[in-house]
Structures are given as C-alpha cells and as structure tokens.
Structure 1
Amino acid sequence: GSHTCFHIFTGPMNHATEAQQFPFCCHPSISRYTFPVQHIPLTWVESEAICRAYASYWERKTLTETEETILRDLEVRIDQIIRERDGKAFLKISGQSAKDVALFRSNKYMQKAFAQKLFYVHPTDHNKQLIAFLEAVNIAMCITSGSQAMEYITRSHRIIKEIHKFVRSQLNDHFQVSQSVSANCNEDKEDNGNFGDLQIVLRDFVSLRVDQEFRCFVKDKCLVAVSQYESGAYFEQLQGSEAEETKFVIKEFFNNVAPLIYENNFIMDVVIIDGSVNIVEMHSWSEDNSACLFDWKLDKNELQVPNGKATQFRFRTSALDEPLDAIPSRKWKEFIKEYYNRRKFMGLRIRPIILQYTAILGLPLAAVALWFLRVHCKHFLW
C-alpha cells in the first residue's frame, strides 16, 4: 500500500542514501540505484539566518554578527564535506536545488561553462547551442566550495520558497494553528534544535549527459509513460536503434526497481550512465511537475490510465523551428550573440597575424597553422 515516511535527524551530520530524500518510503536496497549523499540537518536558527541572508542580498537588509557567524559555520561544514567528496558536489535543500542561481546571467560559473561549450558549435546551429546551454547548466550546478554553496543557497528563490513552505507546514502540523512565515523568516523561535527533515543535501556530483536523462510516469505501479527530460532539444542519440535500446534499458530497470518502491503513483527522474540506470529524483504524483513532452490535459489517457497498455515513449524526432526559444532567459540568448560577435572579431585579428608569420617562417608552418584553425575554429575565422 501507500506509505508516508518522515525522517527525523538528531545528530549534527548524517551519512545516508538518496533514498531518504524521496517523498515516500522505499526498500533500503534501492540505494544501489542512487547516488551517495550526505545530509546537514538545519536548525530553526540556521534556517532563519539563511532567509535573512537572502533578504540581505535581494533587499539590501543588514545581517547581525550572530547571523554572519551562523552562516560562516555552515559554510565551513559544507566545505569540509565537499573536500571529502573529491571537491565536487550537487547541492539542494530538501527537494529543491538552486538551479535558478545557475541560470542567473551574472553567474560566472555558468558564463565560463557556456562559453566553453559554445566553442565547438557553429553559429547557425541553434539546436546544438541549446544543448550547449543545457550542458553548461549541469556544469554550473557543480559546487566546489562552501562559499559557492552559501552563495547559491542564500540567493536562490527556489530554496527560500522551500524553506518557507516547510516552516509553514511545521507550524500547522505541530502547533495546529494557521500561521504564516514572514518573507524574511524573522520571527523569533525558542527551539533552536533540528526540526523535521529540512536539510542541506550534498550528493556526489556526476557529469550527466543531457541526452540520457528521462522522466518516468508511474501510475498504479505501471510505467505508463517516459519522456526525454530536456524536452526542447533534439538529440541524435535518441533516434533509430539507439532509441529502441534506450527504451529496453529503462523498462528492464523499472521492472527491477518497482518492487522496492512502496508507492503506487509517482514520477521518477532517471539517467543512463554507461548502460546502467540511476535514479536522480522521485516526486509524488502531481500535475505541478512538468510533463516534459507529454501534456497533463491533452495526454490524460496516456498518463492516467494504465489498462495494461504498452509504455508510451516520447523522444523529439526533429529540432524545433526556433530551438533557442527553449532557453528560459532572453539574457542567455543575448550571451550567444555576444559570444559569436567576439569570436568573429578575434578571427579578423588572427588572420593578419598568420599572414605575417607566413612571410617570416615560410609556407609550411603557416599551412599547418591555417589547417589547425580551419578544423577547430572555422566558424570563427572563415
């Protein structure tokens, strides 16, 4: 039957599996299909300090010395865990990541990653530019230090919303009153201990291929539908025989893992790495979640009614007419234009240098240089 599972953490730090982050109970052996994680339970005081730091950044409010001390201590603890995890981790608070911070145009990690990915993409190939953007977002989500972690946590609208939501739930559940938390979480709390399962989650960072991420829809314990996760992009790797192999791998995986999940209706995000399927996240069944290439209303029969039908798979079979429309921010589209304009300008400056060295060093060396640039940078120079 359906179970509800709550995890109350009492120690300063817990080692656990990603299974403990799921919104329902699973058999412990499901951990072999997940990524190792480590938890830092948050106290009332720490949660309040995070909310105050958020207000300090977005609303220019001042932090107290006590709040700054709390945040520095949290930064040190996170930094220690990241160092123990080979210097890289994926971060979220309970069920929310700071993906919105990775998407900020001012994010220097995203800027660097996106520029590196665009280097090998032709200026007119908008679908591959979209894929480069998605890959860069994944890279920008890699946390390498406690200071970066705190920057993401205290600037994320998604994370602050999650904290507010959780605190409201705690107040309603434990005090049986209808209370709301102020926008800055600045109400006084007498209990400074850990509460519920609000926690910082640090998961081993794995560089995921965006063409190998999928969203699975499970209804009445049946795998009713599967969609590529990044629904705006066209992936050559999800066509023909490769698509059929992917379908087979996902169905076999679900048959193995379904008995370990004590829930009938849920949504599961998975990724295929070297032929093996790993669970990234699981969500309670809700239309608040994206249906990816499906539509909650138009595809109601495919998503809601198992009836022993074959699993419906949807992979995009051609690129969008305007692939860059799938990029959520106009500023990143402008970044693409600015990037290629800069590279074009650099190309105009490089060619005279090549001609100069041709006269000095002779044709053979110049020919090699021209060949290298034509192969690796032809869309910038020619």
Structure 2
Amino acid sequence: MNANCLIVQSGGPTAVINNSVVGLIDEMIFSGFKGKIYGSVGGIKGLIQENFFELNKLNIHERNGLRWTPGAALGTCRYRLSESETIKIVEMLKRYHIHYFFYIGGNGSMKVAHMIYEVANKMGYYLSVIGIPKSIDNDLLETDHSPGYGSAAKFLATSVLDMKMDVASYPHSNKVTIIETMGRHTGWLAAACSLAIHEDDDSQTLIYIPESPFYIDDCIKKITEASKDNLSTFLIVAEGIKDENEQYINRENMEYDVLNRPKLGGISSFLEKTINLRTGIQARSIVPSVWQRSSVLLSSKIDVKEAYIIGKEAWKYAEKEYSGIMIGMDREYNDEGDYQIFFSPRQLLKVAGKEKFVPKEWYDSQKNRMSKEFIHYVKPLIQGEMIIPMRNGLPNYQRVI
C-alpha cells in the first residue's frame, strides 16, 4: 500500500502561506508520488476530527489560483494540544497510512510538530515530520526570516508612506497619527515601518517595539516639541510594548485567549486618549489588524517565491528520509552584492516554542528609530510586485474548503 501525506496549516494566516502548500504538492507530483495528499481542514482541529480534503483533486489551474490567494486555504485555528490527543493523532495517522506529515506555522506550531514527532518515535511508527515556517511576526529561530513577513512588512511600510503623503497635504499640521502593528513580544513588523522614513520628511516618525521599554513621558515630550515646530508625528507602536517594569502599557481589563495569552490590541487607542488629554494635540489611531497579513495586492514577489520554494524543499528533505526538522533559510550575497537564499534542515527542538527578537543593536532607543543594519536586512524581503488576476474589478481568489 502506498504511503500517504498530510499537510496542516496552523496559527495566523499570511498573504503567501498557500504558496507553501502549492510548492509542496507540485514537487510531490513532479517526483511521482503515488499516495494520497491530504489537507487537514481547519488546522489541528481538523486533524483531531479526521476532517480531511484530498489535495490530489486540485488541478494545476486551481493550484496556481492559490498562489495569489491570501488566508489559509485549508483553514486554521489556535489550539492547545494535549499529550493524550497527540497519541490519538499518531494512531489516526497509522490508520490512514500517513508517513509524511507537514506542518506549516510559527513557533507554537513547530512545538506541536515536535510533539507529534516524539510520540511517533516512542510508538515505533515511522513518520517524516517536517515543519515549514510561516510568520508575519518573523519571530522564528533557526531561519534568516519567515515567509509571510516580507509581504506584511511591505504592506505596513507602504501604508505609512501613503498616510505621510496624505498628512503632507496639510502644511504646518501638528497632528499625531498612531499606527498599531501586530507583534506580541517582538517588533519586527513595527520596525519595518522605518522603510517609510526619508531624510526630507516634513514630519517625525517614532517607532516603539517590545524589545525596548516604552516611556510615555519621553514620547509625549517629543510629540510636544514637534508640535511647537508645526511638525506632525507618526507613532508606530507594536501591540505588545511594555514599560520599564515589563508591564503592558494598556494592561487594564486585559483578557486572555485559549492559549492563556493576553489578548493584545488597543495600545493605539490608549495612546490617542492619553495624548489628547495630556497635550491637547489632536491624535488619531489606526489599526491595520488582519489587513497587514492578508493584503496580497501589496505582497512581496520575493516573499511569494520563497514561500513556494520552501514547500518544494520540504518534500525533497522528506524524500531523503529527514524527520523532526524545520526547513530554515540562510542568507548570502554573491560577488555582485545580490541577495540570495539557501535552504537547510534545522532541528524542530531548537525552534519549538522559542522566539527570535529584534537585535538590540538594530534599535536606537534614544531616537526611537531602526539602524542601517536593520534596513539592510529587511529591504531585500519586500522586493517585487505581484500581478493579481482580476474579475469584475476585484481579485479572483481560489477557495479549497
């Protein structure tokens, strides 16, 4: 009997996550894989409930359509997996003769993948478990960056640039615009907005990331000084910024999700009220929310390409009988200084449940700006534009479930 394969998408979607699924399927078909390629409908819950979709049924046109479709085409969820459920999952995989298991997700997902890998080993069941990274937060260890980040970075930087052009339409404006980005513990997304800062800006831009304490008095002082010079201010704040005591800035009435993590968001509206109250300067808050991870029209072509290739690489390592690994990306520059990425296996254990933070030396906590080193790091990740097929003036997306 042929060995079968199962693909799971997990955690928050990105604009390019479906490219990894398509790259994986394309490479399996190209290699002559004879088994069934299952997709778990609804992430880990679909896995527990044995709710599968046969991805072999997708023709080449449908697969290509997924390459410009945002969101998790197979469905996703956030769920805390127990050890007993992990055992049941491996027993179910045995019934379906699934020997190839691919998990697309962030650091929490890599932890789940590692749990399944360990249980399968203990049960003596051969299962090639391979993690495929994705994260707009860019907080996965053992990889230069995560697929999904480049597109979210491009969207946010473009959005800030657009807003700056709008504010510049009103000479001598001293208003404050607060943009709240995602980023629970890391500031990679907020940092990307530094791409929209130029020397000839007629406004000041202040970036605040969770890796550095947020001082409200210093922030208000800088806003007030800019206002006196008839300069507007852009505050870029990651949702997870904290004060010098490691306390969330907007910690009052905080709720928690199914993983017992604080439900963040709302820091921009908190700052808006505080600035208005303490300075009298007009402030407004803008929350891109899920838009920053779902805008395929502003996706990065290099991000799309890398997400697709990493799916192909995952199958190549599975064919070589690798297991308990995540596909990592390594950056190099050729003799002409051109950016290049190479792929290599990393142990899931080194990635599972861990976070990669913005290096402290890449952030100027006095000027609240990113360094030239960060700009050099992020610029290659936002290059290129996607041409999205349209129908009746709107993007022509492809659905699976």
- TM-score after normalising by structure 2: 0.27
Larger helix share, 1 or 2:
1
Structure with max Cα Rg: 1
- TM-score after normalising by structure 1: 0.28
